[in-house]
Amino acid sequence: MGLGGYLTWTPVAREISKRLNGIKVLPYEAHGNIMKVIHSPIFYNNPYFVQENDTLDYFFPMCLNDPNTNYCKKDTPQHALQRHDKHISEQICEFYGIDLQDTSCEIFLTDEDREYSTSILKDVSKKFITIDPHTKDEYTVNKRYSFEKWQEVVDSLHERIEIVQIGEKTDMVLNKCTNLSGKTSFRQAGAIIEKAALHIGSEGGLMHLSKAVNTKSVIVITGFLHPVMTCYSSNSNLWIGSPHGPCGMKILCEKCQEEISDHDPQLIVKSVLSALGE
């Protein structure tokens, strides 16, 4: 499970802890007879999760890899059959008998996280937006929007507002952006997005991170999945794969690729300007 996936468990922990009068949640994975406690930077400093220095008489064990909480109901090398009638956090809460009303994920940044973001942004304009033109494709290549079209988006926007690219060190870098790829941890990236006027990118971990720091996003969703399953209504969600999705195809999907090829990136530009009030 990636860091974005861990973020989708934070509203679950919040609701469980509140219903148990403040008892903290201990996240773990079960591997046979072995219980592996998960120490993730996502859960660090979160008051609803057990912290490493806590001494507690009681806690609520929460299994992160229980198949009963997985939105993927059948997974083969070619195809993922996904449940998409509810957000994944709502689906997890169903297992615990909770009717989740607020799917907002949370990350509790530290002063150090924010101080680092202030330092690395010292030469960036006061008003800026962040962009991540990449998405992890180890699981499927069909979530990836065209890098060239992301460049077209930047070309149309960079004279109006400064654009900061964040992501992995190995990522291709867009022209006309301030490049911070590989220069932050996930939490530090959150502190940067928190200062941004808007975040732009594909459906993925930074979409959840943006929600966690209360920064609105413009998100591109391909036909691989349904936006109801992962996205947030406060964002501008551009589902370009609605004609055929959600397909759940893990191998190359020609329809997904056709929809990406045919999509007009100026529609993203329009959504960005609208979200910025321009």
Query: pLDDT tens digit string along 195-238?
Result: 999 999 999 999 999 999 999 999 999 999 999 999 999 999 99
- Sequence-separated (6 or more) residues with CB below 8 Å from residue 21: none
Whether 132 and 266 map to the same domain: the answer is yes
- Specify whether 45 is located in the same domain as 125: no
User: Do 36 and 142 belong to one domain?
Assistant: no
pLDDT of residue 177: 96
C-alpha–C-alpha distance, residues 201 and 219, integer Å: 5
- For residue 136, how many C-alpha atoms fall within 13 Å in the half-sphere facing its CB? 13
* Same domain, residue pair 85 and 122: no
Helix or strand or coil: residue 79?
Answer: strand
CA 64 distance to own-chain centroid:
17
Q: How many CA atoms lie within 13 A of 77 on its CB side?
A: 0
In terms of domains, do 121 and 252 share one? Answer: yes
- How much is the average pLDDT of 12-41? 95
248 and 172 in one domain? yes
Bridge-partner residues for 199, per DSSP?
A: 130, 217
- Is residue 187, in this structure, part of any structural domain at all? yes
Q: What is the mean pLDDT of residues 8-31?
A: 97
User: Is residue 106 a part of any domain in this protein?
Assistant: no
Select from 67, 95, 123 the last residue of a domain. Answer: 95
pLDDT of residue 185: 96
Mean pLDDT of all residues in 250-277: 97
Q: What is the pLDDT of residue 164?
A: 98
17, 86: one domain: yes
| Same domain assignment for residues 194 and 255 | yes
Determine, yes or no, domain membership for 254: yes
pLDDT in tens, 121-131: 999 999 999 99
The model's pTM is 0.96
Is the per-residue pLDDT at 137 higher than 90?
A: no
How many CB atoms sit inside 10 A of residue 113's CB? 24
Would residue 270 count as lying in a domain? yes
Verify that 141 and 173 share a domain, yes or no. Answer: yes
* Whole-angstrom distance, CA of residue 241 vs CA of residue 219: 13
Tell me if 100 is assigned to some domain.
Answer: no
Report yes or no on 255 lying in a domain: yes
Do 205 and 138 meet the contact criterion of CB atoms below 8 Å apart?
Answer: no
189 plus 82 within the same structural domain? no
Name the average pLDDT for the chain.
Answer: 95
**pLDDT value of residue 1:** 65
Domain edge (last residue) among 95, 123, 153: 95
Within a domain: residue 105? no
Residue 122: CATH number of its domain = 3.40.50.2000
Average of per-residue pLDDT across 245-252:
95
pLDDT band at 120 (very low <50, low <70, confident <90, very high): very high
Amino acid 9: pLDDT = 98
Pair 85, 217 in one domain: no
**203 and 234 within one domain:** yes
Cα–Cα distance for residue pair 244/259, rounded to 1 Å: 9
Q: What's the rounded mean pLDDT across residues 102-112?
A: 97
Which of 33, 68, 95 represents a domain boundary (last residue)?
A: 95
pLDDT at residue number 136: 85
Whether residue 34 lies inside any domain: the answer is yes
Question: Tell me, what's the pLDDT at 171?
Answer: 77
Give every CB contact of residue 30 below 8 A, 6+ residues apart in sequence: 36, 63, 65, 66
Assess whether pLDDT exceeds 90 at residue 47: yes
CB 265 within 8 A of CB 228: no
How many domains are contained in the chain?
2
Beta bridge partners of 238: 220
Q: Which domain holds residue 257?
A: 111-275
Question: Residue 129 forms beta bridges with which residues?
Answer: 163, 198
Average pLDDT of the residues in 55-79:
94
